[in-house]
């Protein structure tokens, strides 16, 4: 079984909140302070004040790097993790936010967050290359700062195909062929942005015929799970399952290295859609000045360099060094499927209702 990758960012799930405090402030003190008005925000943060980052359960920057932020900024940092449903929780608490800044809302969930007024009007000064990852098709893209990126792609278990002497698939269309019947497992579009982004990739490929594609995919025995973790670790033969085709990430093969130094999996680079994770200052934040410093920190060279080994995503800053295994095994697609953010927000409910109807027939 490969080293465990960072699981998906769930979209529609019950939210479990866990707080990781990097300072000695008491929770009671923070709750009392939270009663004060956020309207007195200055342009600089008050030294010694606490800034709260709300993020997903997979946030994993090194402790020494977070401590460096505290030392350099003079602020106390609290990382508050939402184990499931980060975008929904941010939307539900927009008037009384759970923190000051947020990280981990991706391009599949960002349109919903922007429509609900989650983020304030701030964007960090972007490093070289980062502007390529601004939210496409959104008038409010300047409220979000791109921090990392990857691609959702079909992955295969090379070992399985080699042993069975079966030619592996290469395209989305291949997954509907009889040769691959009952071999595919993927996360559902209503349970994760990994699954949602895969749905959007098929919509970009097939246009108005996407429903026909999904009818054929489901008819060919595709197994649809609640989450990425369920698909990759539970259903995929590269994990604990028996299906050699899975929807995962372009970086996944860098984490399935065998004793010979070779990866046992591959990402099909003609099946990919871009995923970008964003940071932003929360509207109605108690410490907006501190939040701005925190968002700036997330695109600093030190954080960008730490992303691949710690959060399994590519940095947005051009020229950031990558781990050796990534250079060899984590290949980025030259072309990716795409979607318009405002179009997604307008039609999200309609599309997901149609998709759910197809997979439950």
**For the residues of 58-86, what is the DSSP string, one character each?**
T----HHHHHHHHHHH--EEEEEEESS-H
Give the residue numbers spanning the domain of 60: 17-149+277-329
CA distance 225 to 243: 13
- If asked whether residues 262 and 181 sit together in one domain, one would say yes
Enclosing H/E stretch for 157: strand 145-157
- If asked whether residues 317 and 199 sit together in one domain, one would say no
Domain count, the chain: 2
- Would you say 101 and 279 are in contact if contact means Cβ atoms under 8 Å apart? yes
The pLDDT score that the predictor gives to residue 42 is 58
- If asked whether residues 158 and 96 sit together in one domain, one would say no
Provide the 3-class DSSP secondary structure of residue 1.
coil
The pLDDT score that the predictor gives to residue 4 is 40
Helix boundaries (H) for the chain? 27-33, 63-73, 86-92, 110-115, 158-164, 193-206, 210-219, 228-229, 288-298, 301-311, 324-329, 341-359
Q: Which residue numbers in the chain have pLDDT < 50?
A: 1-4, 6-41
- If asked whether residues 209 and 349 sit together in one domain, one would say yes
Q: Residue 246: which residues within 8 A CB-CB, separation 6 or more?
A: 154, 155, 156, 157, 184, 185, 186, 231, 232, 235, 236, 238
Whole-model pTM? 0.83
- If asked whether residues 175 and 324 sit together in one domain, one would say no
Opening angle at CA 198, ends 350 and 256, nearest 5:
155
- If asked whether residues 145 and 206 sit together in one domain, one would say no
- If asked whether residues 176 and 249 sit together in one domain, one would say yes
- If asked whether residues 51 and 134 sit together in one domain, one would say yes
Provide the CATH number for the domain around residue 118: 3.40.190.10
The pLDDT score that the predictor gives to residue 24 is 35
- Would you say 172 and 205 are in contact if contact means Cβ atoms under 8 Å apart? yes
Backbone angles phi, psi at 122, to 5 degrees: -155, 140
Residue 9 lies in a domain: no
């Amino acid at each position: 079984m490969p080293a465990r990758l960072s699981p998906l960012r769930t979209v529609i799930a019950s939210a479990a909140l866990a707080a990781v405090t990097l300072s000695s402030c008491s929770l009671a003190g923070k709750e009392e302070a939270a009663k004060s008005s956020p309207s007195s925000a200055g342009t600089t943060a008050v030294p010694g004040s606490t800034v709260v980052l709300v993020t997903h359960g997979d946030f994993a920057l090194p402790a020494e790097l977070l401590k460096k932020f505290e030392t350099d900024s003079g602020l106390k940092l609290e990382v508050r993790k939402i184990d499931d449903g980060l975008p929904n929780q941010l939307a539900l608490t927009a008037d009384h936010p759970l923190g000051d800044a947020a990280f981990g809302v991706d391009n599949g969930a960002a349109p919903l967050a922007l429509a609900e007024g989650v983020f304030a009007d701030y964007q960090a000064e972007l490093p070289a290359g980062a502007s390529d990852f601004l939210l496409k098709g959104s008038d409010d893209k300047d409220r979000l700062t791109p921090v990392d990126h990857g691609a959702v792609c079909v992955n295969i278990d090379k070992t399985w195909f080699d042993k069975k002497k079966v030619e592996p698939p290469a395209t989305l269309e291949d997954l509907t062929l009889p040769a691959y019947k009952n071999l595919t497992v993927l996360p559902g579009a209503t349970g994760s942005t990994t699954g949602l982004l895969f749905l959007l990739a098929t919509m970009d490929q097939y246009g108005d015929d996407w429903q026909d594609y999904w009818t054929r995919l489901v008819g060919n025995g595709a197994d649809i799970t609640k989450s990425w973790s369920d698909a990759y670790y539970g259903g995929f033969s590269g994990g604990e399952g028996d299906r050699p085709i899975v929807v995962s990430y372009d970086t996944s093969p860098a984490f399935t290295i065998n004793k010979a130094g070779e990866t046992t999996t591959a990402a099909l680079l003609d099946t990919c859609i871009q995923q970008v994770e964003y940071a932003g200052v929360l509207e109605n934040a108690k410490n907006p000045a501190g939040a701005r410093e925190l968002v700036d920190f997330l695109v600093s060279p030190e954080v960008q360099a730490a992303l691949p080994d710690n959060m399994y995503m590519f940095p947005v800053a051009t020229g950031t060094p990558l781990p050796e295994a990534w250079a060899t095994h984590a290949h980025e697609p030259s072309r990716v499927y795409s979607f318009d953010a405002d179009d997604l927000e307008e039609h999200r409910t309609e599309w997901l209702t149609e998709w759910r109807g197809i997979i439950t027939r």
